[in-house]
Amino acid sequence: NAGVTQTPKFQVLKTGQSMTLQCAQDMNHEYMSWYRQDPGMGLRLIHYSVGAGITDQGEVPNGYNVSRSTTEDFPLRLLSAAPSQTSVYFCASRRQEYTDTQYFGPGTRLTVL
Amino acid sequence: AQKVTQAQTEISVVEKEDVTLDCVYETRDTTYYLFWYKQPPSGELVFLIRRNSFDEQNEISGRYSWNFQKSTSSFNFTITASQVVDSAVYFCALTPNTGNQFYFGTGTSLTVIP
């Protein structure tokens, strides 16, 4: 099992550019999430999905889009990158029930110039 | 409201000292789970423990131990005989049985000095 994988590991964008952060899991987990981590603020939820075809907003969704066409993949799209989106992004997955442990990918460090 | 507070932003200890990381949570749910994660300098998030709200037994795993007290809404984490490899940021998190979200504290950065 590869667990949760994310690509790329590092990315530098210019303001206004768009890109997609990839996330995949091979544990057949229904629930997947995207978080951003900023100094002193812990992890904040961007978007999440409770299954293929179902997504919802988290705490900080503005400027990001998601879709979930398969159980395995949950890409995060930045529509028009801004310097405020400079952050480390983590994808996570768990089985459907709230009681289950959430497992994280290795993270993507994004810098927007 | 759901909230996790880790009041200790940074802690430094000398190797072999014991250290306790505090976690205080708020929730109106009677059923919930609490977690601790470790984030070493390499950046990944490593799961350490999960505890449900009905189980107040303390847990020990090697040099790690956790003290869950519902009366004070706390879930503290103690490292005994700290080692340099324990240097990391530690996050406490809460997931209630309503909704689908994990709520993270802001983390405690632990530095163990050799």
**For tokens 């992890």, what's the residue?**
A43
Helix (H, G, I), strand (E, B) or coil at B86: helix
User: Quick one: which H or E segment has residue B5?
Assistant: strand B3-5
pLDDT of res. A96: 73
| Structural contact between residues A98 and A79, judged by C-beta atoms closer than 8 angstroms | no
- If one counts every other C-beta atom within 10 angstroms of the C-beta of residue A30, the result is 17
pLDDT of res. A84: 96
Of B108, B62, B68, the closest CA to residue B88 belongs to: B108
pLDDT of res. B97: 80
Of B44, B47, B95, the CB nearest to A98: B95
Q: Cβ of B100 and A50 within 8 Å?
A: yes
Q: Tell me the shortest Cα–Cα distance from B48 to chain A, in angstroms.
A: 10
pLDDT of res. A88: 97
Average pLDDT per 10 consecutive residues for chain A, totaling 113 residues = 92 96 95 93 92 93 96 96 97 84 94 97
Residues of A in contact with B95 (CB under 8 A): 98-99, 102
pLDDT of res. A78: 96
Residues of A in contact with B9 (CB under 8 A): 40
Average pLDDT per 10 consecutive residues for chain B, totaling 114 residues = 94 97 94 94 93 86 93 96 97 86 93 96
Q: Cβ of B106 and A106 within 8 Å?
A: no
Q: Work out how many CB contacts closer than 8 A connect A with B.
A: 53
pLDDT of res. A69: 96
Full DSSP string of A60-88: --TTEEE--SSSSB--EEESS--GGG-EE
Could you give the dihedral angle defined by the CA atoms of residues B2, B4, B7 and B8, in that order, rounded to the nearest 10 degrees? -170
Q: Cβ of B44 and A58 within 8 Å?
A: no
